[in-house]
């Protein structure tokens, strides 16, 4: 039996569902039940009838699945798959900041790329796919603190006109794209459109024809009136886009150092580790119940507000 067949057989025995983020390698995406962005995967995790959720993405994504499914087993192929955004906002630092600024009575909006402990300190969660919608529903009389991604936060401010205080975190992958690297690839492909993720810097977003979440990139590329499209996000996205939009020429956005950008955390997962975690039901995501219940409230608020 090859690895893929073994995974499919184990999946049936375990009554498991395999969820994969758009940044996973092609072989993992091809064996998954659902491939999507953070928002789509959060909905899938909430509605699944499976006993076991195998989350092929990074740790905070698997943890999110556990928060909304305390009774299920949630495993991920590599427990070390972290995220630079999550690391940029340790919960004790956020708690200390909120305590020092208690008089402001902040309404805290946390991008889903953060730990469960940060979620537990927040009023509502958002993803890049619904951030504009969530910010538009924030109580108008309360100042907003947006954590942890300053680039996404700045983009949402531009879209909504709502002022927010921004935690100074960033995605180490998306800040590698520069104005020069994108201008160079644009010069190589005159007439190409540019689609970029909102975690990119302001200078790069200014060069984009569209700024959106990974899932929205699919609809954008499918309906774009041109064949050449430069995709400024993590390289895994290209596999999904090429499958969904076979008539388009999808060009990876380069950085100053590389022809495309890989997230080293997303790429820790492999087909072999996916097989192993299904066979061993390990590594598992576990959460202390008090913390989980606190983190669930802002997540459920997000799911409600983004319908």
Q: Which residues form the interface with ligand 13P (CB under 6 A)?
A: 22, 37-38, 113, 127-129, 171, 197, 199, 213-214
263 binds ligand SF4 (CB under 6 A): yes
Please enumerate in sequence order all residues whose Cβ is within 8 A of that of 129, keeping only pairs 6 or more positions apart, or say none: 37, 38, 39, 40, 212, 213, 215, 216, 306
For residue 285, what is the DSSP state? P
Rule CB under 6 A: which of 154-173 touch ligand SF4? 171-173
Cα angle: 68, vertex 69, 72; to 5 degrees: 165
176 binds ligand SF4 (CB under 6 A): no
Rule CB under 6 A: which of 227-256 touch ligand SF4? 234
In angstroms, the CA 266 to CA 21 distance is 9
Which member of 7, 10, 31, 83 binds ligand SF4 (CB under 6 A)? 83
Measured from the CB atom, is 240 or 248 closer to ligand 13P?
A: 240
Contact window for ligand SF4 (CB under 6 A) among 2-10, 40-48, 89-97, 258-266: 258-266
The strand pairing partners of 18, in sequence order, are 54
Contact string 34-73 vs ligand SF4 (x = CB under 6 A): ------------------------x---------------
In angstroms, the CA 98 to CA 104 distance is 9
Measured from the CB atom, is 129 or 275 closer to ligand 13P?
A: 129
**Closest residue to bound ligand 13P by CB:** 37
Task: Please choose which of ligand 13P, ligand SF4, none residue 213 contacts, taking the beta carbon within 5 to 8 angstroms, the exact cut-off set by kind.
Answer: ligand 13P
Q: In what order do the strands lie in the sheet with 165-166?
A: 124-126, 107-111, 144-147, 165-166
CB of 198 to ligand SF4, least distance (A): 11
CB of 19 to ligand 13P, least distance (A): 12
For the chain, the residue count is 307
Angle between the N-to-C axes of helices 38-47 and 289-305, in degrees from 0 to 180, rounded to the nearest 10? 110
Measured from the CB atom, is 48 or 233 closer to ligand 13P?
A: 233
Decide if 123 contacts 107 (C-beta within 8 A): yes
Decide if 208 contacts 183 (C-beta within 8 A): no
The site for ligand SF4 (CB under 6 A) is made up of 58, 83-85, 113, 171-173, 199, 234, 263, 265-266
């Amino acid at each position: 039996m090859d690895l893929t067949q073994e995974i499919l057989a184990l999946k049936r025995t375990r009554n498991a569902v395999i969820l994969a983020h758009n940044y996973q390698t092609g072989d993992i995406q091809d064996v998954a039940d659902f491939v999507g962005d953070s928002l789509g995967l959060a909905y899938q995790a909430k509605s699944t009838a499976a006993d076991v959720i195998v989350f092929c993405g990074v740790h905070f994504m698997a943890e999110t699945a556990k928060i909304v499914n305390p009774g299920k087993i949630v495993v991920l192929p590599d427990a070390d798959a972290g995220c630079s955004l999550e690391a940029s906002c340790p919960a004790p630092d956020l708690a200390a900041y909120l305590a020092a600024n208690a008089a402001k009575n902040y309404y805290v909006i946390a991008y889903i790329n953060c730990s469960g402990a940060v979620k537990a300190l927040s009023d509502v969660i958002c993803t890049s796919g619904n951030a504009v919608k969530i910010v538009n529903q924030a109580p108008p009389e309360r100042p907003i603190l947006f954590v942890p991604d300053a680039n996404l936060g700045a983009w949402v401010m531009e879209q909504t006109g709502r002022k927010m205080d921004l935690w100074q975190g960033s995605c180490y992958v998306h800040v590698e794209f520069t104005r020069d690297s994108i201008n160079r690839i644009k010069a190589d492909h005159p007439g190409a459109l540019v689609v970029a993720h909102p975690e990119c810097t302001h200078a790069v977003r200014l060069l984009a024809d569209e700024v959106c979440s990974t899932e929205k990139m699919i609809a954008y590329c499918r309906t774009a009136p041109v064949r050449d499209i430069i995709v400024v996000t993590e390289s895994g996205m290209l596999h999904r886009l090429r499958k969904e939009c076979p008539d388009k020429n999808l060009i990876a956005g380069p950085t100053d150092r590389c022809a495309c950008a890989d997230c080293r955390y997303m790429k820790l997962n492999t087909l072999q580790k996916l097989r192993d975690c299904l066979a061993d039901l390990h590594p598992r995501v576990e959460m202390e119940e008090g913390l989980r219940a606190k983190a669930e409230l802002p997540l459920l608020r997000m799911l409600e507000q983004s319908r």
